[in-house]
Amino acid sequence: MSTATYTVKGMTCGHCVSSVKEEVGEVAGVTTVDVDLATGLLTVGSEAPVDAAKIVAAVEEAGYEVVNP
């Protein structure tokens, strides 16, 4: 199992968290997605490492920005 953590900027509510979870959860290989609204931390779990660019693209698709890709 592989885990990667990102900081997402721009989330302000539960709907924001849901949007990010939904988009990132659709990335091939992702098995778990945890988003902490208070800290902006996005934790992505997968069986094998997932390309960070795919995670960043999914977050951007949801309308937010990754601060530390």
Per-residue pLDDT of 2-17, as tens digits, reads: 999 999 999 999 999 9
* pTM score, whole prediction: 0.94
* Averaged confidence pLDDT in the chain: 96
Residues of the chain by 3-state class (helix, strand, coil), percent to 5: 30, 35, 35
Which CATH number belongs to the domain containing residue 25 in this structure?
A: 3.30.70.100
Report residue 49: phi and psi, to 5°. Answer: -55, 140
Q: Is the pLDDT of residue 50 over 90?
A: yes
Taking a C-beta distance cutoff of 8 angstroms, is the pair 10, 64 a contact? Answer: yes
Question: Quick one: angle between helices 52-61 and 14-25, nearest 10?
Answer: 140
Q: Which domain holds residue 41?
A: 2-66
- Domains identified in the chain, total number: 1
At residue 69, the pLDDT reads 60
Q: Is the pLDDT of residue 45 over 70?
A: yes
